[in-house]
Amino acid sequence: MKIVFKCVSVIAGVVIMASVFGSGCATKSEKQVGHGGADMEKGKFLNTELRYENSFSKIMDISWEYMRAKRAEPQPQVELPVNQITADQLKQVESPVLYRLGHSSVLIRLDGDFFLTDPVFSERSSPVQWAGPKRFHDTPLVIEDLPPLKAVVISHDHYDHLDKDTVKKLSDKAEWFVTPLKVGQRLIDWGLDPKKVIEKDWWQSVQLGSVKLIATPAQHFSGRGMFDKDETLWASWVIQGEQANLFFSGDSGYFSGFKEIGERYGPFDITMIETGAYNEMWSEIHMLPEQSVQAHLDLKGRAMLPIHNSTFDLALHDWYEPLERVSAAAELNQVRLLTPIMGEQVSITKPAQSIAWWLELVDQPGEASLVAN
C-alpha cells in the first residue's frame, strides 16, 4: 500500500510540476532568432531553434526517476537565512539596488521607480495551495509592505512565475503589468484592469518613464493546464534605465538567442539568469548551471545573479546544487557572481562581494567560500 501511495503521489506531483520542466521531446528547428517576433503555428507559439512536444512516455520516465532518485537534501534541513525588509527601509532607498525575494522574484529599484519580476508570494508553486512544491523560506516582506510599483514584469505563465493570488493582491500596488503576448489576458480574466496590462511580442518594447522594457526571446514553453500548451508567449526581458542596464532571463534552455540579445542590448550591469530546476532530461528548456554562465558571457554581463533556485523543489538535484555548480563554473570563467541571501540589498552599479552562505547549511559543503571577484 505504501508503494502504491508513493507512486500515486509522485505521478501527481510530476503532473503539477510539468509546467515547470516540461514533459516532452525536442526536435531541431531551422528558424533563427532576430526576426520581427515570435512565430505561431495552429494557435501555438514556437521557439526559434527547436520544438518541444508533449510526450506521455516522457512523463512516465520522469515519474520513474523521481521514485528512484536518492538525494542528500531535496529540501533544506535547517532554516534558510532571510533578511527581512521593512516598508520604511524601502522608502529610504535612492540608489539603484535589487533584492532577491525568492525563486525568480526580484524587486528592483531603478531610476527612482520600483519594478518586480515574476512575483510568487504564495506558500506553494501550484494550482492549489494544499498540494505541490512548498516554499523553503518565507518571503523577506509581505505584499502590504511593498512600495508602489512602476511595473510588474512577467516572463511566462507557469505557476512558479505567475501566481494568481499574488497578482490579484498586487493589482492596486502596480501601475503596470507587462507580459508577453496573451499572458496579459490571463491577468484580465482574473479581474485586473485591462488599462494596466501591456502585452509585448519578442523584440517589442514599452517606455515607462525613463525605463524601457524590451521583450526578448527565450527557449521555453507555456501553459497552466494539460491542454493549453504554448497558447501564450514566453520571454526574457531587458530592463534598460538611465542608471543601469539589466537582463532578466525568465526560464530558458541555452540557445543562440542570448548572443543576439547581448549584441543588440548589452553590455548588462547585472544579468539575472535561471540556474535551477534543471536536468539532462529537460535541458532544452531549462539551462544547466554551466550553460547559465555561458549565457551570461553571451549577454556581455558584468555581474551575474543566479535565480530560479533555493525556494522550491522542482527537479531532481539537491537544493544547494545549483549554487555549487554555478559557483564553480563562474570561477572557471572569471565571472563575477552575486549570491545574496533572500532579502539582502544588492547595489546594481557597485555590488559587494558575495559570501557562499549555503555552505554552512549543508553536510558536505563545497570548497569555495567567496564567490564574487
- As a three-state string, the secondary structure of 206-235 is EEECCEEEEEECCCCCCCCCCCCCCCCCCC
Residue 310's domain spans which residues? 87-361
pLDDT at 368: 44
Among 12-26, 240-254, 263-277, whose mean pLDDT is lowest?
12-26
Tell me what percent of the residues of the chain surpass a pLDDT of 70.
86
252 part of a folded domain: yes
In this predicted structure, the answer to whether residue 270 has a pLDDT above a threshold of 60 is: yes
Q: For residue 343, is it within any domain?
A: yes
Q: How many domains does the chain have?
A: 1
Average pLDDT for 320-338: 98
With respect to residue 47, please indicate whether it lies within any of the assigned structural domains.
no
- 204: cell is 517589442
Cell of 222: 507555456
Residues 6+ apart with CB under 8 A from 238: 212, 213, 214, 216, 245, 246, 247, 248, 261, 265, 268
Domain-embedded: residue 140:
yes
Residue 134 domain-assigned (yes or no): yes
pLDDT at 5: 36
Q: Against a cut of 0.85, is the pTM above it?
A: yes
- Asked, for residue 68, whether it belongs to a domain, the answer is no
How many angstroms separate the CA atoms of 293 and 308, rounded? 14
Residues 6+ apart with CB under 8 A from 131: 12, 13, 16, 124
CATH number at residue 335: 3.60.15.10
User: Mean pLDDT, the chain, as a whole number?
Assistant: 90
- Reported as a single tens digit per residue, the pLDDT across 82-135 is 999 999 999 999 999 999 999 999 999 999 999 999 999 999 999 999 999 999
Q: Looking at residues 318-339, what average pLDDT do you find?
A: 98
In this structure, are residues 314 and 133 in contact, taking their beta carbons and an 8 Å threshold? yes
In contact, 275 and 322? CB cutoff 8 Å? yes
Tell me the pLDDT band of 285, cut-offs 50, 70 and 90.
very high
Map residue 329 onto helix, strand or coil.
helix
Task: Please check whether residue 348 lies inside any domain of the structure.
Answer: yes
In a domain, 74, yes or no: no
What's residue 18's pLDDT?
52
